Structure 1
Amino acid sequence: MSETLLPPDIIASVDPTVENNEEDTGRLTLAYERLYEIPKTIVERFSDHIKYLDISHNKITNLDALVYFKNLTSLIADDNPITENCHLPPLPKLELLWLNRCKVASLYPWVGKLKESCPNLQYLSLMGNPAAPSYFNGGTFYEYLQYRLFVISQFPSLNHLDDRRVTEDQRLEAQRLYKRPFFERIVKPGAGIAQLVNTSVTWNAVQTKLAVLMGKDKPGNRNLLI
């Protein structure tokens, strides 16, 4: 972990021993500090009581140090070069995660590992990542819809994805579309679901197979709501 020296005002803003700091206790902002990792000083002194951490607009690619933040409920990590090779440690209390405008290019197997690390997420935002198709990065409406439903299917407690609330209709459609028997038809015959768990698959490849499979479904059974 980094030995980066932080400005005194940042240390004071999160140090519970500093007077007149009751409202800020548990919150720390390290945005725009040109960090390559979470400083060792912060981990050693404050990880036990930090609940809200903002590390946006840095150059961080590794989040392993978060394993020490046992009480973390909110993490803002926008605008970092974080890829699908970066996996969060177990954060069972994390409810809000923002990874907007990072470098996540593939949902597989990254989103499955994210689910294991953060099973209680209620708010997740991945806007601006290559793996999150939208009109802003050249994605079609259909690609965006499939991305959204797939992510919703992975997090039963999710209330908000990107810039929109998760509706009950979307949750039901996500469960129908991505239930295991259907999902296994996407991978190669005989390979099973393990192929998607252990192999990085581009979203375009999966979306193409989904389009073919859904074309075989009866129109009356499709209810792709946004």
Structure 2
Amino acid sequence: MSEGAKQIADRPTTVAVIYKYDILLETKTLKRNQFKAVRTHLSYTMLCENGNVLEKLCYSGQRCQKIPEALVKLYGPKVQCLDLSYNEIVTLRGLDGFPVLKELVLDNNQLSDTISFPYLPTLQTLSLNKNKILDIQSLLLKIRQNLPNLSYLSLLGNKACPNELSGEENDEEDYQRYRYYVLYHLPNLKFLDSTKVREVERSEARRRGKFMNVIRPRGDGMDEIRLNSDSTGGFTPLPKSMRGPEDHKMPITHRSRLPKIRRGIYYSIISSSAVGSPSEVI
């Protein structure tokens, strides 16, 4: 066998079989207690490479608010890649019916801080871009407990991720703080958002990532201060009644009690022994 023929023979063989279906899903209306059949579209792909089979299910752009039970029953036990992007999903109920899932794409949905994950030890990739997630600490805790082998996470376009997609007021410094904080809690990540995790970044996250949480105002109040400190005093959150310095209704004497404010983001580190005297931002 010639060298060229040998190289061709040694190349991995990849065969993709794509099935596209129209299915009728029966939904129950809450007001009239009636059932309504809706025609939806899905794509089911079997990718065979060197004897290994990867099965992918795409059910995007169907305006569903939850994972249809029919998908769980028909495909759950064998699907390894699930794409539910561009829907209106508010809950992940039924996700435990996909026990061998390796990749989950949930971009452009309505998932919020109430999101919960079943225990999925095989999941390696999770994409949550452009949802409604605000609380990064709560999300990381859920991921750490239920997705132990996650290596790729993307949160772009959520308020919890302070980059330009979630607000023009964000800058590179805000985003780097966020990366340190995420990597401190999820040290096994290889990719965060669209960027590979660097070793120097991972080292810095171990050193001071626990102090890097960015607290944002919610409505007319503040999120609870969750930052940790290496000082002896505890931290006290700002009262909900406090507003920004641009609010002229606030007495001038109270404005000095605000923590350092930079472009709409609060880095609040306040000692209980000296409330109203914010310490230097880390």
Give the structure-1-normalised TM-score: 0.74
- 2:65 maps to which residue? 36
Superposed, 1:26-105 pairs within 5 Å as 26-105=55-134
Question: Which residue is equivalent to 2:42?
Answer: 10
- Give the conservation status (yes or no) of the 8 Å contact 1:31–1:57: yes
Quick one: which of 261, 268, 274 aligns to 1:208?
Answer: 268
Q: Are 1:169 and 2:200 an aligned pair?
A: yes
Contact 1:50 1:69 in 2 (8 A): yes
Q: How far apart in 2 are the matches of 1:149 and 1:174? A: 4
Q: What residue identity is the alignment partner of 1:167?
A: R
Highest Rg: 1 or 2?
A: 2
Q: Which of the numbers 146, 154, 157 marks the counterpart of 2:177? A: 146
- CA change 1:48–1:133 in 2 (3 A) is same
| SS of alignment partner, residue 82 of structure 2 | strand
Name the CA distance, whole Å, in 2 between partners of 1:29 and 1:6: 17
Which consecutive residues of structure 2, in runs of 5 or more, have no partner in the other structure?
Answer: 1-24, 28-36, 212-226, 236-263, 271-277
Alpha-carbon offset, residue 46 of structure 1: 1.4
CA-CA distance at 1:67 after TM superposition = 1.2
- Aligned residue in 1 for 2:154: 125
Asked if the contact 2:140/2:186 (under 8 Å) is kept, the reply is no
Query: Aligned equivalents of 2:138 and 2:233: distance in 1?
Result: 19
How far apart, CA to CA, are the structure 2 residues paired with 1:99 and 1:127?
7
Correspondence list, 1:191-202, <5 A: none
- Quickly say closer, same or farther: Cα 1:213–1:70, change in 2 above 3 A: farther
2-structure distance, mates of 1:73, 1:189: 43
Secondary structure of 2:104's counterpart equals strand
SS in 1 for 2:42: helix
Alpha-carbon contact 1:186-1:209 (below 8 Å) kept: no
Aligned: 1:158 with 2:189: yes
Contact 1:81 1:102 (8 Å CA) reproduced? yes
The separation in 2 between residues aligned to 1:126 and 1:141, in whole angstroms, is 16
Aligned residues: 193
Compute the displacement of 1:149 (Å). Answer: 0.8
**Residue of structure 1 in register with 2:21 after alignment:** none
Greater fraction helix: 1
- Are positions 1:185 and 2:245 aligned together? no
- SS of 2:268's partner is helix
- Deviation of the 1:110 alpha carbon: 2.0
Spell out structure 1 runs of 4+ moving beyond 2 A.
2-11, 21-25, 186-191, 207-215
Higher strand share: 2
Q: 1:145 to 1:25 in 2, by over 3 A?
A: closer
- Give the share of equivalent positions with the same residue, in percent: 28
Tell me if the contact between 1:36 and 1:61 (Cα under 8 Å) persists in the aligned partners: yes
CA contact (8 A) 2:86 2:109 kept: yes
Change (3 A) 1:163 1:9: closer
**Partner in structure 2 of residue 111 of structure 1:** 140
**8 Å contact 2:62–2:87 — kept in the other structure?**
yes
Structure 1: distance between partners of 2:186 and 2:61: 30
TM-score by length of 2: 0.61
CA separation in 2, counterparts of 1:92 and 1:9?
Answer: 29
Q: How far is 1:6 from its partner? A: 7.2
Secondary structure (helix, strand or coil) at the match of 1:109 reads helix
Opposite residue 146 of structure 1, the aligned amino acid is R
